[in-house]
Chains A and B, each alone.
Chain A
Amino acid sequence: MSSMHFSNLTYNSLLKMFSKDKRFDGRKLIEQRDFTIEYDVSNKAEGSARVRMGKTEVVVGVKLEVGAPYPDSRDKGNLMVSGDLLPLASPRFESGPPKFAAIELPRLIDRMVRESHVIDLKKLVIVENEKVWVVIIDVYPINDDGNLIGAASIATAAALLETHIPELDENGMIDHDKKATKKLPLETGVIPLSFTFYKLGDSLLVDPTREEEEACDGKIVWGISNYKGKEHMIHSAQKGLEATMSSEDIAKMMKELPKLFDDTLKKLKKFLK
């Protein structure tokens, strides 16, 4: 084990505080930190955003490339989500082949975005059966103080809303000098977001700091949207870590999840251009 292994002292005090619905930073268990969104992290990206949530900071960039359609979806553009836990963002992250957490983050964002159908991939065909737009979402933490997936989901939504489709030249290549004016086709009003419930003892909490996240022994990550602009719809979920969840735990999450979504969506809308 590394020298950064969690101390029993912190574990026990968190356990005690959580059972009284208290946290070191004064929040209740089901209460998120405020966040800010900034745009234009890179003017070379077709859309980008930076989210700061407490000390957690994540940047997301969207690039568009011209590519061939997948054989099983010839009438659609392609979506890819990648990213990495850069050693820039935490002493806990290491260079080299991606560890599980670095694989999980983009995969969970991918499933949330894909299943919400927020991007209208059918409108991204350039030449039928031959050429389509490939939308590549890249997620990078700049500083990890917990809840990277939550912050990344907000940054992803913001970046997608700002994404423009580049112009093509006469050879069908992307012309980076021409100003892109056409927006990425998105399902109007639909925004997918991700929320993770962590478990320590019998307590459930959201938006943990790094310290809280490390103390917890169970979690479930949920991707949810206001599907078709109407009802709450869950698009992705993944239980992680070794603590088990009861049906009651899940029922509680299902009660809180729509409220968290509505609350975050309201805050997010204040930052939209």
Chain B
Amino acid sequence: MTFKRTDGRKLDEIRPMTAKIGVVPNADGSAIFTFGKTVAIAAVYGPRMLHPQHMQDPKAAILRVNYDLLSFSVSDRKKPGPSRRSQEISKVTEWALSPALDLKDFPNTVIDVQIYILQADASTRVAGINAASMALAQAGIPMRDLICAVAIGKMDKDLVVDVNKDEEDFEEGEAASDIPIAKLANSDRITLLQLDGNIQPEIVSKAIALANKAFEKIYEVQKKALKEVISE
């Protein structure tokens, strides 16, 4: 029997997406990206001088990402401040974004990317990456491409696109697997891959193929939002 999604979506259907650029006037670039009820906001500051000086790279700017949940974004209040989880996500997000950037024109500087989740219904890190990618573009940082991100799930034996919280907690059969993936929009270059759950090695490539289809749709949403600010 095929897995039935509680919100009635088809297995390969992404939740309604929205994207808005320029949501933090103080920032050099900023954006909000949503997957259904999951809302992520990202702001970019920089390139700016990096202190302390010994952390500077004379060859290129360094990218510094901070991801966290706002305390009221989840059912059980999240204690403010970094956790091991948020530190890990910050680091993998840094690795997910950096292959898109060309930072050699800005030696000794830092580009700070701040990502916060306002409302969480799973897939928060990938929503954050989509928002950050747009914010970096708005900030005018030289980019090879946009980064698109989505979480593929496996519910018992069925692959689904864009996992929500109900699905993340699914426990029947082979239970839930959560596979956040990100890539450069227009080339076969994966920049983020994480996995939690139970998945046969031969299914992993199928999950990636499914993500690739979703990326095309996410890319259109990101592009449209960016074009809106350019035409203003």
Contacts and interface: CB of A to CB of B under 8 A. Distances in A.
B205 A234 contact: no
B208 A250 contact: yes
Interface in B99-152: 99
Interface in A219-244: 220, 222, 224, 227, 231-244
A41 interface: no
B222 interface: no
B198 interface: yes
Interface stretch (B28-36, B44-52, B88-96): B88-96
Given A111-B196, A232-B200, A234-B195, A239 B189 contact: no
A227 B98 CA distance: 35
B88 A245 contact: no
Interface stretch (A11-19, A99-107, A200-208): A99-107
Question: Which of A1, A232, A243, A247 has most B Cβ within 10 Å?
Answer: A247
Interface in B167-202: 179, 183-184, 188-202
Interface in B17-37: none
A43 interface: no
Contacts of B189: 244-246
Contacts of A135: none
A228 to B, nearest CB: 10
Contacts of A258: 201
What range describes how many residues of B lie at the interface? 20 to 34
A254 interface: yes
B95 A104 contact: no
A9 interface: no
A227 B198 contact: yes
Interface residues of A, number: 36
Contacts of B209: 247
Contacts of B191: 239, 244
A111 B95 CA distance: 20
B100 to A, nearest CB: 10
A162 interface: no
Contacts of A244: 99, 183-184, 189-191
A167 interface: no
Given A242-B99, A246-B188, A250-B208, A234 B201 contact: yes
A251 interface: yes
The SS class assigned to the B binding surface is mixed
A115 interface: yes
Contact of A239 (B192, B197, B201): B192
A235 B194 contact: no
Contacts of A249: 190
A59 B62 CA distance: 35
A257 interface: yes
Contacts of B190: 239, 244-247, 249-250
A239 B87 contact: no
Contacts of A254: 201-202, 204-205
Interface string A84-117: 0000000000000000100110010001000100
Contact of B95 (A224, A231, A242): A242
Nearest to B169: A72
Contact of B204 (A115, A231, A248, A250): A250
B79 interface: no
Contact of B194 (A231, A239, A255): A239
Contacts of A236: 195-196
A200 B48 CA distance: 31
Given A233-B200, A239-B192, A103 B92 contact: no
A249 B160 CA distance: 23
A176 B201 CA distance: 43
Contact of B197 (A115, A224, A255): A115
B84 to A, nearest CB: 5
B66 to A, nearest CB: 13
Contacts of B183: 244
Question: Which of A244, A246, A247 has most B Cβ within 10 Å?
Answer: A244
The 7 A-B pairs of least Cβ separation, nearest first, read A244-B189, A237-B195, A239-B193, A254-B201, A245-B190, A246-B188, A100-B91
Interface of B: 57, 84, 87-88, 91-92, 95, 98-99, 179, 183-184, 188-202, 204-205, 208-209
19 contacts: A100-B91, A103-B87, A231-B200, A234-B195, A235-B198, A237-B194, A238-B92, A238-B195, A239-B190, A240-B95, A242-B95, A242-B98, A244-B183, A246-B188, A247-B188, A250-B193, A250-B208, A254-B202, A257-B201
